Amino acid sequence: MDTIKRYLAQYPDRVTKNDYLELAKKNEKGVPMSTGVHIVTLLKCENATRDTEYRGEEKGINLIVDEDGVEKKYFVPMFVTDKNSPNYGKFHYLFQKFEDIEEDTMLEMEFVRKGARGYVDVRIHDVGNNIKDNKADTNDIPVIEETKDGHYKGEVRGVTPSVQARRTEGVKFPKENLEKEIDVRDIPF
């Protein structure tokens, strides 16, 4: 390992680092799969071109974003270059979407599959709703109590009282099922 570190330090210009934001990765069948929601801050954009195997040279912009303190790029084509698309030659949807987004804006970027194809969903990040923390809001947790006759009643927040009554009133769970240990092999997923 020391030998590798020494070579990498000796030739820093030959080190390849992944400075691009990866919203999707191809699986073993070559199908792009989402890497999840990425919360980034848009720093700036710069003109760029890229060479693709099927479409040749594409003009566009590199979005320079900050993800967890690391500066990364994301290429957005300027025009739709797929000749089979009805939007061929028109501005790319993502290029148009960034027209109204200012620099230093926090964004949520995610690759979303839609049938055989996919698209990049970009939303303004709501700081009060931190997806990375993935913490449940305790106000949405139902409060259920056991009555003396073995029934359960409770409050299910976020629903109308009539729906709440239908969901919780008179529901009886056998105590032997509640106290029985669950075997993970019986879970269907």
pLDDT reported for residue 113: 87
pLDDT reported for residue 162: 45
| DSSP states along the chain | -HHHHHHHHH-GGG-----B--SEEE-TTS-EEE---EEEEEEEEEEEEEEETTTEEEEEEEEEEEETTEEEEEEEESB---TTSTTTTSBPHHHHHGGGPPTT-EEEEEEEEETTEEEEEEEE--TTS-TTT-PPPGGGS-EEEE-TTSEEEEE-TTS-HHHHHHHHTTEE--HHHHHSPPPGGGS--
Q: Model's pTM, two decimal places?
A: 0.58
* φ, ψ dihedrals at 119, nearest 5°: -150, 165
Could you report the per-residue pLDDT of 87-98, keeping only the tens digit for each?
A: 999 999 999 999
- Residue ranges per structural domain of the chain: 19-124, 139-178
pLDDT reported for residue 148: 65
pLDDT reported for residue 117: 80
pLDDT reported for residue 182: 61
CA distances to 58, 75, 85, 156 from 31, rounded to whole Å, are 22, 19, 20, 41
For the domain made up of 19-124, the CATH class stated in words is mainly beta
pLDDT reported for residue 42: 94
User: Mind listing the pLDDT tens digit of every residue in the chain (189 residues)?
Assistant: 777 777 777 776 666 666 889 999 988 988 889 999 999 999 999 999 988 777 778 899 999 999 988 899 999 999 988 888 899 999 999 999 998 899 999 999 999 988 778 899 999 998 765 544 444 444 544 555 556 665 555 554 444 444 444 444 454 545 555 555 666 666 665
